[in-house]
């Protein structure tokens, strides 16, 4: 009976998994070895798309560079800021729930609304950011409208919505066993020793989880380019997924875009694999290393 | 461990956790307050801009309090393009997706968590895998699929997957199934046995035992799904062409193209989209925190 019901109840999801994940993944790979454009005949051309992308597509190189730059820049900063906020919130502060609400609030703002808002904050002439810079006597910036500052600006914007990460860190910090801190206290250890020898090692699984999620997320940045910059200026914010989207749905080069998608897939998988491998060296799971 | 020692330990825990000493405590509050102000400032800026006319918006240095309050921004911004239609479309999607997600993620999670059958581990692995899969890989074939089914420019591509464990957008359904599965596994199995003794089927157990004990988790799933539908942008951009089918998110993006420098209108329209979510957040706050913690830590 369990078997019958088990299969029956999981059936919709199994159909969904096949229809909306497995078949599309296979189809995507098949498209990637064709020269298909919507409206044209489809010819299988082997790995030509991949060859072109990897050897002769400056836009691909640029978008990969932009995305990597964004990822390398935003992930550590967001991770560090979120950790710091969570750490401070964990110091038995009064009004914890008020602070927690405030730090989480930006995260629930719909991304389309927050890109709209930041577009206005970045406005070089009347935006909030430049008026703050000016009131501090600092030189103004062109923010997302300047090639050099466009990505850093988008990183700044991403630090605004680290709420999820903060909450996950906070929960992790609250779960650090108190007796570990006591042990350091008994030995006369300083606050710094507690932080370095207890907090950080106990938090490595949580840091690891957030790190993986953030890297995967950062490689899929799209809205900022679509709504704010259209990839500009001079392709400085041409995020990978935005390039892929444009290739597939503006230029209707389905085959070529599918190959782009598979390259992204391989990159994300490789990164995840590498992080998982190195994690054995720095992630301490409770029970395994005590 | 005896009860007494548990109490002693939990008391100690309270002293041990906050290990930063007094002077540092002031610094802690200082950083938290500055941080909070920085976090809240863009939202205040959004609100104040939404209540200003162009003359006030383009004053330098900027003012924080609108004078006078330009309330008319709201009706004007929300009627120049059919936001009412966008709202109805979004709510239609909300209703069907919420129903679909709640039904399919509950039965799937229940099957994966509490019923033994060959192949369930394969299905669970598939669910987890689809969570890691970049949506960029599936989005092109899905577009082609809906195109072949003649369903482009309708709400179907945004609704149907939810009824097959697909959630509010690509990859999101897996997250809901995963969350519920974790929750269902924590319910004691003995409760099932009792229901089976009375001649119940797995469906009775689900309905009489599991669902009543899982209300918080279901609310979490409901809230997150609602927000994901509300915020979803990529798929409406992909599937919807004509204005009468637009969602709020898509409508807002289009509105931006039409009223490029009308920041008062743009901010009023954005605020109108943010406000319901903030309201929902304040109503369901503890479920938010629980939900993120549940998936984050056990993940």
Contacts of A5 (CB under 8 A, 6+ apart): B111, B115, B201, B202, B203
Domain span(s) for CATH 1.10.3720.10 in chain B: 77-298
User: What pLDDT, on the 0 to 100 scale, is given for residue B299?
Assistant: 36
Per-residue pLDDT at B159 exceeds 60:
yes
User: What pLDDT, on the 0 to 100 scale, is given for residue B295?
Assistant: 61
User: What pLDDT, on the 0 to 100 scale, is given for residue B133?
Assistant: 86
Per-residue pLDDT at B222 exceeds 50:
yes
Per-residue pLDDT at B13 exceeds 50:
no
Distance from CA of B283 to the nearest CA of A (A): 12
Mean pLDDT of chain A: 90
Selecting from B133, B164, B277 the residue whose C-beta is nearest the C-beta of A108 gives B277
Residue pair B137/A261 in contact by the 8 Å Cβ criterion: yes
User: What pLDDT, on the 0 to 100 scale, is given for residue A286?
Assistant: 64
Per-residue pLDDT at B5 exceeds 60:
no
Which contacts qualify for A198-202: CB closer than 8 Å, 24 or more apart? Answer: A199/A87, A199/A173, A201/A284, A202/A172, A202/A176, A202/A177, A202/A284, A202/A286
Average pLDDT over residues B132-147: 91
Per-residue pLDDT at B19 exceeds 60:
no
Average pLDDT over residues B202-217: 90
Average pLDDT over residues A108-129: 91
Distance CA B273, CA B40 (A): 17
The model's confidence at residue B154, banded by pLDDT at 50, 70 and 90, is: very high
Q: Which CATH architecture has domain A57-282?
A: Orthogonal Bundle (1.10)
Number of H helices, E strands in chain B: 17, 0
Q: Which residue has the tokens 């990969």?
A: A64
Q: What percent of chain B has pLDDT over 70?
A: 91
Closest CA to B245 of B170, B157, B141: B157
Q: How far, CA to CA in Å, does B163 sit from each of B29, B108, B174, B295?
A: 47, 11, 13, 22
* ipTM value: 0.88
Q: Which residues pair with A55 in a beta bridge?
A: none
- Nearest-Cα residue of chain B relative to residue A110: B231
Closest CA to B134 of A275, A264, A17: A264
Average pLDDT over residues B249-264: 86
Average pLDDT over residues B19-43: 86
Distance CA B141, CA A25 (A): 8
Query: In A, residues 81-140, which contact B (CB 8 Å cutoff)?
Result: 84-85, 88-93, 99-106, 108-113, 116-121, 123, 125-126, 128, 131, 134-135
Per-residue pLDDT at B285 exceeds 90:
no
Q: Which of A274-278, B25-29, B295-299 has the lowest mean pLDDT?
A: B295-299
Three-state DSSP at B176 gives helix
Q: Which residues pair with A44 in a beta bridge?
A: A34
Distance CA A243, CA A275 (A): 26
The model's confidence at residue B294, banded by pLDDT at 50, 70 and 90, is: low
A156-194 tens-digit pLDDT: 999 999 988 998 898 889 888 888 888 888 888 788 888
User: What pLDDT, on the 0 to 100 scale, is given for residue B18?
Assistant: 53
Is B77-298 in CATH node 1.10.3720.10?
A: yes
B79-115 tens-digit pLDDT: 888 999 999 999 999 999 999 999 999 999 999 999 9
Per-residue pLDDT at B3 exceeds 60:
no
User: What pLDDT, on the 0 to 100 scale, is given for residue B57?
Assistant: 85
Per-residue pLDDT at B10 exceeds 60:
no
- Per CB-CB distance under 8 Å, the chain A contacts of B35 are 85, 103
User: What pLDDT, on the 0 to 100 scale, is given for residue B21?
Assistant: 60
Q: How far, CA to CA in Å, does B36 sit from each of A129, A168, A172, B30, B43?
A: 17, 18, 21, 10, 11
- Nearest-Cα residue of chain A relative to residue B58: A126
Q: Which of B42, B202, B225, B241 should one mutate to test binding to chain A, selecting the residue with the greatest count of A CBs within 10 A?
A: B42
User: What pLDDT, on the 0 to 100 scale, is given for residue B96?
Assistant: 97
A47-64 tens-digit pLDDT: 999 999 999 999 999 999
- Per CB-CB distance under 8 Å, the chain A contacts of B139 are 248, 261
Contact A272 B18 (CB under 8 A): no
User: What pLDDT, on the 0 to 100 scale, is given for residue B166?
Assistant: 85
């Amino acid at each position: 009976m369990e078997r019958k019901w088990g299969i029956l109840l999981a059936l919709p999801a199994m159909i969904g998994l096949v229809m909306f994940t497995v078949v599309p993944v296979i189809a995507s790979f098949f498209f990637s070895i064709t020269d298909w454009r919507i409206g044209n005949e489809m010819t299988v051309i082997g790995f030509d798309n991949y060859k072109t992308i990897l050897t002769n597509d400056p836009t691909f190189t640029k978008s990969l560079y932009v995305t990597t730059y964004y990822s390398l820049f935003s992930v550590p900063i967001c991770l560090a800021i979120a950790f710091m906020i969570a750490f401070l919130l964990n110091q038995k502060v009064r009004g914890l729930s008020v602070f927690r609400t405030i730090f989480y609030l930006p995260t629930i703002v719909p991304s389309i609304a927050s890109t709209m808002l930041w577009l206005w904050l970045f406005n070089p002439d009347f935006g909030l950011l430049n008026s703050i810079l000016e009131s501090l006597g600092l030189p103004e910036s062109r923010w997302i409208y300047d090639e050099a500052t466009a990505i850093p600006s988008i990183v700044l914007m991403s630090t605004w919505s680290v709420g999820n990460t903060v909450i996950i860190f906070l929960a992790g910090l609250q779960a650090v066993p108190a007796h570990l801190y006591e042990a350091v206290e008994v030995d006369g250890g300083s606050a710094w020793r507690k932080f370095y020898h207890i907090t950080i090692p106990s938090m490595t699984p949580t840091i690891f989880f957030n790190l993986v999620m953030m890297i995967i997320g950062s490689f899929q940045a799209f809205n900022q380019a679509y709504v704010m910059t259209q990839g500009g200026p001079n392709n400085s914010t041409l995020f990978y997924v935005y390039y892929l989207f444009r290739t597939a749905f503006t230029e209707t080069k389905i085959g070529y875009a599918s190959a782009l998608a598979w390259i992204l897939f391989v990159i994300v998988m490789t990164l995840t694999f590498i992080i998982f491998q190195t994690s054995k060296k720095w992630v301490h799971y409770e029970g395994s290393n005590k | 461990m005896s009860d007494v020692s548990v109490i002693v330990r939990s008391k100690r825990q309270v002293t041990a956790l906050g290990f930063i000493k007094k002077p540092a405590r002031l610094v802690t509050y200082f950083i938290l307050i500055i941080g909070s102000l920085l976090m809240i400032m863009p939202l205040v800026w959004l609100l104040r801009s939404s209540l200003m006319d162009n003359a006030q918006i383009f004053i330098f240095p900027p003012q924080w309090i609108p004078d006078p309050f330009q309330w008319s921004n709201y009706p004007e911004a929300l009627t120049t393009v059919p936001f009412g239609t966008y709202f109805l479309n979004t709510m239609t999607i909300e209703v069907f997706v919420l129903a679909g997600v709640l039904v399919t993620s509950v039965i799937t999670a229940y099957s994966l968590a509490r019923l033994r059958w060959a192949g369930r581990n394969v299905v669970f692995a598939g669910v987890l895998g689809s969570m890691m899969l970049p949506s960029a890989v599936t989005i092109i074939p899905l577009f082609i699929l809906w195109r072949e089914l003649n369903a482009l420019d309708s709400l179907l591509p945004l609704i149907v997957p939810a009824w097959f464990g697909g959630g509010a957008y690509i990859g999101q359904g897996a997250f809901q199934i995963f969350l519920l599965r974790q929750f269902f596994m924590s319910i004691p199995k003995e409760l099932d046995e009792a229901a089976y003794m009375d001649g119940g089927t797995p469906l009775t157990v689900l309905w009489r035992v599991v669902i009543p004990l899982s209300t918080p988790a279901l609310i979490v799933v409901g809230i997150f799904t609602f927000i994901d539908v509300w915020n979803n942008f990529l798929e409406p951009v992909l599937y919807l062409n004509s204005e009468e089918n637009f969602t709020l998110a898509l409508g807002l993006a289009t509105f931006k193209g039409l009223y490029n420098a009308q920041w008062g209108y743009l901010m009023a329209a954005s605020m109108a989209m943010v406000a319901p979510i903030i309201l929902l957040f304040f109503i369901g706050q503890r479920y938010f925190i629980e939900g993120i913690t549940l998936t984050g830590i056990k993940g």
